[in-house]
A and B are shown apart, each in its own frame.
Chain A
């Protein structure tokens, strides 16, 4: 369980998060939605210790962010930040193999190699395994990055807008993969999404943020209503129910 309590954060004197409390039960896909600048990415990066904590407390099961050893956290929680640029020239297999670093610290054994091949297989990357990252399309690259954090074998996966640059097939494929991971592999997934319809279609729970606060949370049918969208986004988009699921008419 991820427990965020009393989280406050400022960047350059500007308050980004105000007293955020959030409990993430194990299992399932939770989508984080909200307008630009609501603090979604900041919240994710604080949970994943990419930035130092200022005020508040974050626990991941029995580990405390900022207190527990960072390599122990790396085996429990993995993050794919927005716009991840990989500078060295790597093949897909080499990239995915880095996901095993928290487990082997540089001495990869047979279980690590097997985990890498399993991750490649799971994300349909086996035919691309020896291609260099800079020869891949945006969607293939994104899949390779997700495969890397999958190979990390962490219980909690945090993804910051992974659907950017993906076409509809790529986006649906990735979301379906993530849902399968949550259902069958028992992973807990927290994902920042811009497209509310993807959140409605694939998430088990939606958390809406606005101006550094969590303003709504619950199953998609409860959160995605015309009234909530107006409160969160200042948008008067209409919401219809199609085949039992809310759909925003854009």
Chain B
């Protein structure tokens, strides 16, 4: 049964990608195909990166409510980028190749994520309330620090970070697509190879140890992968608050399975359908009247509230 549903999801993802490329063509194809192809590639990368990062994060924290975005990973990426601009000056950051800035910020995010979330996972293991509260406080802290530093920065240099500070799906950083593609492919390949281990880690610390897995090492590996994948999505489209939660919750409903061999591709495909499909409808049919990020956050926020309320009632 999961195989058939995955096939249907795959076909739907292909269909929305084709629609994105072909609907409402008002320019010569020689221009349109590379132009739209680049944006499509970026959207698919974001969908795969966000959904994989969310699945891994929910696995190592054993819950279905928290996501890297809710815990402040995206905000941390923007903060690190802001710190770089603050210390080096916007002009020198701009003069660096975008790829180098991306890789440096991603590396810094890995370190910061291990430092902050690695210790949190060790101490707040299984304490959902503490995780939620810490995530909210981290998010506010990172955003406030970012806001504070951005006020100190020269207004001309501010434009460098401004693009990374809010979610946008129309105006993508397409010059990063190639390197983001390599990073995503590598991270997803590692996550896929470890799929049986994630299944075991999701059972909880004690059961995982009993079955001979090494949960601490698994958590660290997952945090590194999550940091890489969040860097990809934030660099391409900015922070996406509730996209991951929406996509992974939908995947759980459409293809219920405890196995990551099913969950990882299902979440990625749902991500592509939501992001590319939503963007096709809004950009091509509704003439960009509403930004996709608003709709995704509205739906994702509703899912978040629903999950929290269900948890509280239990």
Q: Which residues of A contact B (CB under 8 A)?
A: 45, 48-50, 70-75, 78-81, 84-90, 94, 98-99, 101-102, 105-107, 149, 152
Contacts and interface: CB of A to CB of B under 8 A. Distances in A.
B258 interface: yes
A106 B212 contact: no
Contact of B209 (A48, A80, A152): A48
B204, B205, B209 interface centre (most CB from chain A within 10 Å): B209
B88 interface: no
Interface stretch (B99-107, B143-151, B164-172, B195-203): B195-203
A94 B258 contact: yes
A101 B200 contact: yes
B267 to A, nearest CB: 14
Nearest to B64: A87
Contacts, number: 69
Contacts of B213: 70-71, 101
A94 B256 CA distance: 13
A107 B259 CA distance: 12
A149 B205 CA distance: 15
A87 B204 contact: yes
B211 A101 contact: yes
Interface of B: 62-63, 195-197, 199-200, 202-207, 209-214, 256, 258
A75 B212 contact: yes
Nearest to A45: B206
B195 A102 contact: no
A87 B63 CA distance: 7
A84 B199 contact: no
B195 A88 contact: no
A79 B209 CA distance: 9
A98 B203 contact: yes
Given A87-B202, A88-B202, A102 B212 contact: yes
A77 to B, nearest CB: 8
A41 to B, nearest CB: 11
Q: List the 3 closest A-B pairs by CB distance, nearest first.
A: A106-B196, A74-B212, A71-B212
Given A85-B204, A87-B202, A101-B200, A48 B210 contact: yes
